[in-house]
Amino acid sequence: YGDLNEQPSDVSFLIDSIDALATDKDSPLNGLVDIGHIGIGGQSFGAITAVATGFNACCADDRIDAVTVFAGIWMDLGSGNETARSGDDLPALFVHGDDDEVLPYEGGRAAADLLKGPTTFATIVG
């Protein structure tokens, strides 16, 4: 968790790299990637990274079009609970178990409740 602040920029770097490969005529990815429609998702620490990259005012990537979060929470990366403007319309799907002993269910609910865009929260019971 020590490098969480760097995770969103790592995701942005990956998007940049895939975009470069997708537009390189010599790349096996040439023409296969629709860089105009990007969805990200993750589970646990990956979900925390997805939330930060999609929504946190400190480091959101405006190219993200949808976020899926499995057992993720909001982490303060220097902007408190401030969401990025791009998050106002960004759809998100949260899935969280109500008996999660690692990342509390309440943390997942709180993260979803911060968002202004279309957000769905699914609870896995037990």
Angle between helices 7-22 and 45-55 (to 10 degrees): 80
Q: How far is CA 51 from CA 15, 24, 71, 126, in A?
A: 16, 30, 11, 24
- CA 62-92-109 angle, 5° bins: 125
Residue 16 and residue 24 in contact, taking contact as beta carbons nearer than 8 Å = no
Count Cβ atoms below 10 Å from residue 107 Cβ, excluding itself. Answer: 17
pTM above 0.85, yes or no: yes
15 pLDDT higher than 90: yes
Whether residue 91 is predicted with pLDDT greater than 70 in this model: the reply is yes
Q: Is 3 helix (H, G, I), strand (E, B) or coil?
A: coil
pLDDT digits (tens, 9 = 90+) for 92-109: 999 999 999 999 999 999
* pLDDT (tens digit per residue) in 41-88: 999 999 999 999 999 999 999 999 999 999 999 988 888 888 887 667
Query: Comparing C-alpha atoms, which of 42, 4, 37 is closest to residue 22?
Result: 37
